[in-house]
Each structure stands twice: as structure tokens, then as C-alpha cells.
């Protein structure tokens, strides 16, 4: 089927299967997409790359009707299309497998596929269809198995089968390999190749440059909501892609020079030797990590989303037991998790009660409320936390004050070590500066500080030493932004 380009602005002669042109999307003050363009042809595996927050997921959500663009056009097979809902997208032959699966756990494979399908709800026909699709595609699944009994990899195959059962010609996979073991990941990528060779189109959001260059035909790179590179995979190198993602602006690294070099002459406080750690689903995220953090230094952790830093930080904080190896930790490690509402605070409890939470497990007898009230008042004063008094619920505080409160609580007993994850997410400039100052002050007081931020610049700004988490391990590659960026992507220069 060859349709003249018509309104299409691309230079290909045949209309591309899917063309997203000059797409913009704003969330309040934040620009997620700023004229991004992506064109995917029939029979191609198209990789979509970009740093955290570059706009990849937003662009794909727009293609699948989960979000609406503020500006820009979508053409499917050369026809201008408006995709308001995923149902519209499916009708146009677009399917998507999101990072978080949309499956009904207690139901069977066949029920999940039949559910919300375009055809009549017919379990027997759907089961036959699953078997046929499985035989054709190699994505074999037992139609009668319950979803809750399936491995993560099998659940992902089910999501793909769901899309195929609805005649998806374009399949969008949002970081599909992030949840898979290396073998499963290889099988999946090989399958995308076969699917494309049979005339389908795959758009693959991914991070691992090596596997992308092995499998993809073409590559589009987004940076800060703009398309900065579109090329054939054979024309680019890992280095070129990494530079496109991170920005070629070779900053003269004013941030790392600005602070006095901080020699870590302190004692080793945290030590991991050959540690492996699994996530909540039992997938090994860290396979072999060895590192030491000394008192009086800030170690920055740099990693792309899902590289295992979440598990590494929790092992360091004593909140997750390593599945292998040894972790030598002090008695109590201060820990500030990124989701403070869920993991650090009891929002309806008072400030005093939230302060008392620290060490609550070991407390015996009566609660010394008077002393705790005094300590809370002192904390509010010392950390400049704005609250009416210590008896108000934490819920009434602003995000910045909540974070300063949590940080103050975790640092109150001058712990030997502090682990902090995305320390300033959602905070304004002033609160960010306060939190940074508090981390440096803790470092100067001799605490071993480990900080991870999804914003690489923040890591580089704070860290005396940077450790990169990639490929299940930890590497020290210095503090040069480009080198760190490449190491994060596990790319060879």
C-alpha cells in the first residue's frame, strides 16, 4: 500500500506508518514536549532515546491516546488522525505496553485478552487466537493460567499478545527490558526484530545503547522535549547517541570545581562486598556491587531509571537485605526515601509523633512525650522548618518543610551515615538550597553521605565522588559529566 505523501512533511515517498510531527505538551509551567517529531516506517524497529524527563513517555502516551498534545499532528498511514483514547489508537492499529502492566491479576490469560477487546466476548475463540498468535510469534502462553501466577516476563508477553489480538500493527514498548532478566530481554528484543521483519512496526523506549544498536533500524533522540537526532542505527555510535542524549554542551564543569576538593580521610563507614539485591518482584537488580563510603564524604550515585540504584540505596540504608554478599553498616543509618509521603512520614500524625518514629522499634516502656516535644521544637528551630507548632499534623506542612523535617529527623542523632534519594524532588529553589546546605553540613560533621538524584547535575553538584550504577554493578569513573553520562548508559566510548 503506497499512499502519496499528501500533507505529510517527511521526505519519504511512501507514507510512514506513524508520524508524530511537531508535538508540544505543557504541564503547567513545565514543558514536557517542545515540537518533538518521530516518524516510524513499516517493518522497522525504531528506538526512542533520551535522558530521564526528556519526554519519551509523554510522546508515546500521546501516540496511544493516553494524553493529548497542546500542538502538533499525528498521521497514521498518511492520514491525519486524532487519537483521543486508547480505543481510538487500537482502532488505528496502535498498541502499547506500558512499564506498569494493565492486567487483572486474579483473572486468567484468556480473560485478560478478551476483556475490553474489540470483538464479542468469546473465551473459546480468544483462547484459540492466543494459541495461534503464540505459535506464530513464539510468545507462547497458557490461556488458562492465572495472571498472578505468571512471571514478570510472561506478563509482558501477555501484554504484547493483548495488543496483537487487537490487530496492532504498531507496537509501542515503554522500557520493556527494564523488568526482565538478561535472557528474557534478549528473547524479547529478538522477537521485536521478527515482528518488524514480518511488516510490523515497533517503537522501543529504551536506555541500553548497546542492545538498541544491535536491534534497531532507526533511532530518534529526545532532549528536553525536542527531537535532537534521527538517524539510521548503522550511522551512529554509542558515543554519538550518548552525546545527543546528554547534550554536547561540554560544560567547563564549574560545579565540580566550585567546591574545595574534599579529601575523604574519614574511616570507612559503609562497605558492600560482592553484593546482589533483588527488587520487590524478585528480579536481581544489583548483581555484583562492591563499594566503600567513608565518614566525611558525599558519594553521589548516578544511574538511569531502573538501573538498580533503588535497591542499592536500600541495601546501604539497611532497609533491604542483600541476596548475596556482605554489607557492613553502622547500627542506624539515616534514610530519606524519595516518596516521603509513603515511606518516611505518617501524614495524619503530629510532628512530634513523626519525630518519635525514628527508633520507635527499639523503644521500651512509656513514650517521653515532653522530651520529644522539646526535641521537635529544637528541630523546627535548627532546620528552619515552618510549622505552627509541634502538635500539628505533618500533612499541614509544605513539601519543602516536610523534606527539611524528615532530613532533620534522620540527622538528629548525628548518624554515622545518611542515604538520601532524590533529595529535592518537588522542592522550590530556596528549599533545595537549604537541603543541599544541610547535606554538606552533615558531611562536614563527619557523616558518610550517599545521595542519589535522577538529575545528574544535582549529583555532580553535591558529590565529592561519583559512583555509577549500571549493568548490575558499581563503577567509579570520576566526576566528568560526559564520562559519567556514558558510564550510566553502559556505553563504550
Partner 1 sequence: MPASMRVTRLLLEPVLAIMLSLVALAVLLAVSGYSVPAALSALWHGAFGSWAVLASGTLVRATPLLFAGLAVAVAFRAGILNIGAEGQLLAGAAAATAVAVTVSPQLGLAGAGLALVAGVAAGGLWAGIAAFLRQQFGVLEVISTIMLNVIMLHLTGLLVRGPLQEPTATFPQSALIDQALRLPRLVPGTRLHAGVVLAVCSALLVWWFLRSTARGFRLRMTGANPRAAASAGGIHVARVATSAFIASGAIAGLGGAVEVTGVTFALYENLSPGYGYTAIAVALLARLNPMAAIGSAVVFGALEAGAAAMQRDAQVPAGMVGVAEACVILVLLASEWIGARAGRISTLFWGGPPPTQHSVTPSAAVDPA
Q: Does 357 bind partner 1 (CB under 8 A)?
A: yes
CB of 413 to partner 1, least distance (A): 13
Q: Does 364 bind partner 1 (CB under 8 A)?
A: yes
Cell of 323: 541476596
Q: Which listed residue (161, 345, 420, 470) binds partner 1 by CB under 8 A?
A: 345
d(CA 225, CA 33): 4
CB of 346 to partner 1, least distance (A): 4
For the chain, how big is the Rg over CA atoms in Å?
25
Closest CA to 316 of 278, 275, 357: 275
d(CA 376, CA 356): 9
Residue linked to cell 523506549:
205
Q: Which listed residue (350, 376, 402, 422) binds partner 1 by CB under 8 A?
A: 350
Site map (CB under 8 A) of partner 1, residues 389-408, x = contact: ---xx-xx---------x--
Give the H/E segment covering residue 218.
strand 218-223
CB of 333 to partner 1, least distance (A): 11
| Contact predicate 297/464, CB 8 Å | yes
The nearer residue to partner 1, 265 or 348, going by C-beta atoms, is: 348
Sheet of strand 94-97, all strands in order from the earlier edge strand to the far edge:
94-97, 170-174, 201-205, 45-49, 218-223, 226-232
CB of 340 to partner 1, least distance (A): 9
Q: Does 335 bind partner 1 (CB under 8 A)?
A: yes
Q: For residue 30, how many other CB atoms are within 10 A of its CB?
A: 9
The nearer residue to partner 1, 232 or 388, going by C-beta atoms, is: 388
The nearer residue to partner 1, 168 or 406, going by C-beta atoms, is: 406
The nearer residue to partner 1, 224 or 319, going by C-beta atoms, is: 319
The nearer residue to partner 1, 319 or 425, going by C-beta atoms, is: 319
CB of 405 to partner 1, least distance (A): 12
Contact region with partner 1 (CB under 8 A), list: 25-33, 57-65, 296-304, 356-364: 356-364
| Contact predicate 409/345, CB 8 Å | no
Q: Does 264 bind partner 1 (CB under 8 A)?
A: no
d(CA 326, CA 330): 13
Q: Which listed residue (260, 360, 370, 429) binds partner 1 by CB under 8 A?
A: 360
Q: Which listed residue (347, 378, 461, 471) binds partner 1 by CB under 8 A?
A: 347
Q: For residue 146, how many other CB atoms are within 10 A of its CB?
A: 15
Q: For residue 251, how many other CB atoms are within 10 A of its CB?
A: 13
Q: Does 280 bind partner 1 (CB under 8 A)?
A: no
| Contact predicate 217/52, CB 8 Å | no
Q: For residue 435, how many other CB atoms are within 10 A of its CB?
A: 23
Q: How many residues bind partner 1 (CB under 8 A)?
A: 33
Contact region with partner 1 (CB under 8 A), list: 112-120, 341-349, 422-430, 471-479: 341-349
Q: Which listed residue (118, 124, 388, 441) binds partner 1 by CB under 8 A?
A: 388
Q: Does 361 bind partner 1 (CB under 8 A)?
A: yes
d(CA 82, CA 80): 7
| Contact predicate 150/184, CB 8 Å | no
Q: Which listed residue (22, 239, 329, 349) binds partner 1 by CB under 8 A?
A: 349
CB of 364 to partner 1, least distance (A): 6
| Contact predicate 448/296, CB 8 Å | yes
CB of 356 to partner 1, least distance (A): 6
CB of 350 to partner 1, least distance (A): 6
d(CA 114, CA 121): 6
Contact region with partner 1 (CB under 8 A), list: 127-135, 250-258, 362-370, 452-460: 362-370
Cell of 464: 565529592
Q: Does 311 bind partner 1 (CB under 8 A)?
A: no
d(CA 324, CA 274): 7
Q: Which listed residue (198, 248, 367, 437) binds partner 1 by CB under 8 A?
A: 367
The nearer residue to partner 1, 120 or 370, going by C-beta atoms, is: 370
| Contact predicate 475/487, CB 8 Å | yes
CB of 107 to partner 1, least distance (A): 18
d(CA 283, CA 452): 21
Contact region with partner 1 (CB under 8 A), list: 73-81, 86-94, 184-192, 365-373: 365-373
CB of 369 to partner 1, least distance (A): 8
> Beta strand 268-278 with 201-205: parallel, antiparallel or unpaired?
unpaired
Q: For residue 332, how many other CB atoms are within 10 A of its CB?
A: 16
Q: Does 342 bind partner 1 (CB under 8 A)?
A: yes
Q: Which listed residue (344, 442, 466, 491) binds partner 1 by CB under 8 A?
A: 344
* Residue 233, helix vs strand vs coil: helix
Closest CA to 104 of 118, 96, 94, 115: 115
CB of 368 to partner 1, least distance (A): 10
d(CA 71, CA 307): 33
CB of 18 to partner 1, least distance (A): 37
Residues that bind partner 1 (CB under 8 A): 319, 335, 337, 342-350, 353, 356-367, 369, 388, 392-393, 395-396, 406, 409
Amino acid at each position: 500500500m503506497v499512499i502519496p505523501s499528501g500533507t505529510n512533511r517527511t521526505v519519504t515517498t511512501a507514507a510512514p506508518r506513524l508520524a508524530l510531527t511537531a508535538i508540544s505538551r505543557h504541564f503547567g509551567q513545565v514543558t514536557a514536549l517542545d515540537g518533538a517529531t518521530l516518524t516510524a516506517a513499516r517493518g522497522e524497529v525504531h528506538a526512542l532515546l533520551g535522558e530521564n524527563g526528556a519526554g519519551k513517555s509523554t510522546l508515546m502516551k500521546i501516540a496511544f491516546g493516553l494524553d493529548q498534545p497542546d500542538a502538533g499532528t499525528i498521521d497514521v498511514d498518511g492520514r491525519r488522525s486524532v487519537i483521543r483514547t486508547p480505543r481510538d489508537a487500537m482502532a488505528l492499529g496502535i498498541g502499547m505496553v506500558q512499564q506498569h502492566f494493565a492486567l487483572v491479576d486474579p483473572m486468567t490469560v484468556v480473560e485478560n485478552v478478551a476483556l475490553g477487546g474489540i470483538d464479542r466476548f468469546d473465551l473459546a475463540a480468544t483462547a484459540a487466537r492466543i494459541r495461534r498468535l503464540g505459535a506464530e510469534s513464539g510468545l507462547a502462553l497458557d490461556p488458562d493460567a492465572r495472571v498472578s501466577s505468571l512471571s514478570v516476563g510472561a506478563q509482558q508477553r501477555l501484554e504484547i499478545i493483548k495488543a496483537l489480538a487487537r490487530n496492532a500493527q504498531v507496537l509501542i514498548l515503554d522500557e520493556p527490558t527494564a523488568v526482565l532478566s538478561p535472557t528474557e530481554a534478549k528473547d524479547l528484543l529478538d522477537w521485536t526484530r521478527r515482528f518488524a521483519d514480518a511488516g510490523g512496526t515497533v517503537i522501543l523506549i529504551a536506555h541500553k545503547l548497546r542492545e538498541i544498536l544491535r536491534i534497531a533500524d532507526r533511532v530518534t533522540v529526545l532532549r528536553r522535549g525536542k527531537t535532537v537526532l534521527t538517524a539510521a542505527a548503522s550511522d551512529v555510535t554509542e558515543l554519538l547517541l550518548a552525546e545527543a542524549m546528554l547534550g554536547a554542551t561540554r560544560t567547563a564543569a564549574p560545579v565540580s570545581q566550585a567546591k574545595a576538593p574534599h579529601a575523604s580521610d574519614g574511616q570507612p563507614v559503609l562497605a558492600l562486598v560482592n553484593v546482589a539485591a533483588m527488587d520487590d518482584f524478585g528480579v536481581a537488580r544489583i548483581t555484583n556491587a562492591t563499594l566503600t563510603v567513608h565518614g566525611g564524604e558525599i558519594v553521589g550515585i548516578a544511574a538511569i531509571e531502573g538501573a538498580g540504584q533503588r535497591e542499592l540505596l536500600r541495601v546501604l540504608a539497611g532497609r533491604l537485605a542483600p541476596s548475596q554478599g556482605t554489607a557492613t553498616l553502622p547500627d542506624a543509618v539515616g534514610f530519606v526515601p524519595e516518596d516521603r509521603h509513603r515511606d518516611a512520614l505518617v501524614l495524619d500524625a503530629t510532628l512530634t509523633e513523626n519525630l518519635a518514629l525514628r527508633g520507635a522499634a527499639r523503644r521500651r516502656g512509656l513514650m517521653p512525650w515532653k522530651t520529644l516535644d522539646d526535641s521537635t521544637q529544637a528541630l523546627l528551630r535548627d532546620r528552619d522548618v515552618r510549622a505552627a507548632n509541634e502538635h500539628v499534623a505533618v500533612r499541614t506542612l509544605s513539601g519543602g518543610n516536610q523534606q527539611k523535617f524528615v532530613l532533620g529527623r534522620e540527622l538528629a542523632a548525628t548518624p554515622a551515615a545518611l542515604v538520601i534519594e532524590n533529595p529535592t524532588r518537588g522542592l522550590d529553589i530556596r528549599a533545595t538550597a537549604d537541603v543541599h546546605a544541610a547535606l554538606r553540613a552533615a558531611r562536614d560533621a563527619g557523616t558518610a553521605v550517599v545521595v542519589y538524584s535522577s538529575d545528574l547535575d544535582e549529583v555532580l553538584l553535591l558529590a565529592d565522588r561519583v559512583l555509577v550504577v549500571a549493568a548490575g554493578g558499581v563503577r567509579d569513573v570520576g566526576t566528568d559529566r560526559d564520562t559519567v553520562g556514558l558510564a550510566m548508559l553502559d556505553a563504550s566510548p
